Amino acid sequence: MDEEVVRRAATANPDAAPIRLFQESLPPGIRISQSTLEVEPGYKHQLLGKFAFSTGEEVSKDILITQVKRMCVTTGANAAIILFRLVPNEHQDRAQAIEAVLVNLQSTESERGATPVPGTSL
């Protein structure tokens, strides 16, 4: 089944839905407990899975983000917690790989109509 998801993601439109990216940060309602991500009580978020991607060489971070967005669109995730694997150089816009936890963020009653959650919608 994983191979089928990856195959479908390869041709998915990365702009088919707004995806919120949290680079090395956690959205409200997600926490780390005993080295594991979990949904805090009172939230209905879903942690859908982990995704890692690399071309095997240094590339633009935009290329890596596009792959995460394709996987989000394919799996129904509307957010991802991302971490770049950097290579030692002066080019902060490039990386060798990206890792992501795919998340389906669900609004709580108190969040509806409130200030938007920080994060970048790309």
Please give the full DSSP string across 51-89, using - where no structure is assigned. EEEEEEEEEEHHHHHHHHHHHHHHHT-SEEEEEEE--SS
pTM of the predicted protein model: 0.82
Residue 100 has pLDDT above 90, yes or no: yes
CATH T-level assignment (fold) for domain 2-107: Translation Initiation Factor IF3 (3.30.110)
| pLDDT tens-digit readout, 3-41 | 888 888 888 988 999 999 999 899 999 999 999 999 999
| CB contact at 8 A, 101 and 80 | yes
| pLDDT tens-digit readout, 35-93 | 999 999 999 999 999 999 999 999 999 999 999 999 999 999 999 999 999 877 778 89
